[in-house]
Chains A and B, each alone.
Chain A
Amino acid sequence: MSASRRTLSVVACTLLLGGCRDAKITSYRVPHEADPAPVAAPAPAAAATGSAMAATPVATTAGMALTWTAPANWQSKPATTMRKATYTIAGDGAEADLSITAFPGDVGGELANVNRWRGQVGLGDLTAAQLAGATQHFDANGLHLTVVDYPGQGAAAAQRLLGAIVPVGSETWFFKLLGPAALVGREREAFMEFLKSIRKS
């Protein structure tokens, strides 16, 4: 090693060691902070978990997003990081909840997700062979939608679930309308029109 290289090495090592910085655990006292009051009524379904949360939105993939047109009587709820959007549909003194969520990948595939929805309204699981007969498919605005309509059974007999599964890029979007059977039945046409309005933004 030449003298100048040796000198350079000594200087570089000195600077490197001198530059080491490490974050430290700190403790301090502050005046007691009361928990903040909610700034808006939470979405009903979110309230059931004890929290409805949102912050800076995080792109789940490359930022692919969908837009849609919702009927005027559907009340939009504040967006949260848990859901892409929430609508409440009121009628007969009750409410139906439309949740719009997105997940990376196919999250288990169509059969698993359809069976998950069926379980929520008291229906048994389908087999792969039965799936085609229990779902509808249509294309709209360059998107392929798998649509289900399941009246509840047993303990959930008063409920009805309308749902759509929409693969978008590397994500899968879920549109689920769940609520009193009569109310959801009245909104079925509006829901189908709503699905047809979904497009990539």
Chain B
Amino acid sequence: MKELVRQFRDFFVSLQLTVVLLAMGIVLVFAATLDQTNLGIWAVQEKYFRSFFVLWQVGEVPVPVFPGGYLVGGLLFFNLLASHFYRFKFTWKKSGIFMTHIGLLLLLVGELLSGLWQEDTLLTMREGETLNYSESQLKNELAIIDVTDPKTDLVVAVPENVLARGRTIEHPDLPFRIETRSYYQNAMLRRRDEAPNMPPSLATAGLGPQVVAIPVAPTYRQNERNSPAAFIEVIGREGPIGTFLVSTNLASEKPDTNGMVVQWQPQTFSYAGRQWKIMLRHARVYHPFSLTLLKVEHDVYAGTDIPKNFSSRVRVNNPDGRDDHEALIYMNNPLRYQGLTFFQSQMAKSVQLTGLQVVSNPSRQLPYISCILMGVGLLVQFGIHLFGFLGKRRKVAA
């Protein structure tokens, strides 16, 4: 037993491990940078850094081929911590090194916490509109909504990856089950009467029979988003209720920031005496307050189309009646409210639409603190050496 403990200790305090992990980190960053052209920044972050292993898909089986950011960073964290406890003896002469290492440890912890806790969503609103939710820029969800009650909606949200797996979807709040008949990671929709030579639709209800979903290659560009589509069959106790085509392109409710206009009609059905609405939409995060967009401004330099300033005047309203105030959000002047930061992100003045990036990151201060610690630590350490050196020179000169 003692031998095993000694092996663990020697492994974690080893300087060789530090060097190997730093080299692995360099390889990881290099490979991820190259792969960014294929996958885009979001997918690369997930694949290389926010994972324990970098996986390659061999047929249907994901095979780990290299340690991921969590493994390399985690081992580096324990390596640094264990080395400190085992080797490092604190003296004032080494206080700078100590501070620098504490800063580095904090940086690693901060990155881990950001990866786990940070949530980026987008709040797009037209002038006059009031919303109490923002939408994910990456994730989608199948929302099955019981809209029978005129006061409240009961929402069952199924993440897109559950839909993609094709397993039977059941939930205690749903009196029926859902089977995925077909799923496309990215698909374009066309009107059936304008789409030549298309096979018969799988859909039997809703908009599906009039629309064709044509699978296209997934996009990984930073300024584009995949539009997934799926044919899903809703099956009650007595038998099938209907097969619907759902797609994020069928659920968009407003013009996007490119100014494209949408008229949206929900797909609904009745079952067990209740009225249901079904849609594949950008995953929503609801907030305990609402924002109303009062005015959007898009100023340009006189005589040009060059943007000078984007700004959104919003009213923040808390239903508990404690808060009701206006705020002006513009570039470099975000609104901070209830742990969320609202940045001015997108703008389409022609359709009076604004896009606010909503960031929730409880650990957002950690990188700043760690950088200050490392900077001060290095200054202290070099200062100690410099003053020691100058002291020695003075003595020699005297």
Query: For the complex, is A46 an interface residue (Cβ under 8 Å from B)?
Result: yes
What class of interface size applies to chain A in its complex with B? Answer: 35 or more
* Contacting residues, chain A, for B250 (C-beta < 8 A): 51, 53
Q: Are A51 and B264 in contact (CB under 8 A)?
A: yes
Q: Is B181 an interface residue (CB 8 A)?
A: no
Q: Which of B191, B197, B259, B265 lies in contact with A108, CB distance below 8 A? A: B197
Partner of B261, one of A57, A80, A112: A80
Q: Which residues of B, 196-250, contact A by the 8 Å Cβ criterion?
A: 196-197, 207, 210-211, 214, 216, 219, 221, 224-227, 248-250
Would you call A27 and B154 a contact (CB within 8 A)? yes
Contacts of B161 in A (CB 8 A): 23
Interface presence of B173 (CB below 8 A): yes
Chain B residues whose CB sits within 8 angstroms of the CB of A53 once the complex forms: 189, 249-250, 252, 262-264
**Given known A53-B189, A104-B214, contact A25–B171 (CB-CB < 8 A):** yes
A19/B52 contact (C-beta < 8 A), A31-B153, A32-B153, A81-B189 known: yes
Q: Which of A1-9, A67-75, A122-130, A179-187 contacts B (4 or more CB under 8 A)?
A: A1-9
Taking the nearest CB of chain A, how far is it from the CB of B306, in angstroms? 22
Given A25-B169, A116-B196: A55 and B158 interface contact (C-beta under 8 Å): no
Query: In the assembly, what is the distance between CA of A110 and CA of B225, in Å?
Result: 31
Within 8 A of A (CB), among B149-176: 149-159, 161-162, 169, 171-173
B196 proximity list for chain A (CB < 8 A): 103, 107-108, 112-113, 116
B328 located at the interface, meaning its Cβ lies under 8 Å from any Cβ of chain A in the complex: no
* Number of residue pairs A-B, CB distance < 8 angstroms: 196
Report chain B residues within 8 Å CB of A94.
none
B320 within 8 A of A: no
B residues in contact with A101, CB < 8 Å: 190, 194-195
Minimal beta-carbon separation of A121 from chain B (angstroms)? 13
Q: In the assembly, what is the distance between CA of A78 and CA of B254, in Å?
A: 12
8 contacts between A and B (CB under 8 A): A4-B11, A32-B153, A35-B266, A52-B262, A58-B249, A59-B216, A80-B262, A81-B189
Residue positions of B touching A, CB distance < 8 A:
7-8, 10-11, 51-53, 67, 70-71, 74-75, 126, 132-133, 147, 149-159, 161-162, 169, 171-173, 186, 188-191, 193-197, 207, 210-211, 214, 216, 219, 221, 224-227, 248-250, 252-256, 258-266, 286, 351
Q: A interface vs B, CB < 8 Å?
A: 3-4, 6-8, 11-12, 15-16, 19, 23-33, 35-36, 38-40, 42, 45-46, 49-61, 78-83, 99, 101, 103-104, 107-108, 112-113, 116, 120, 174, 176
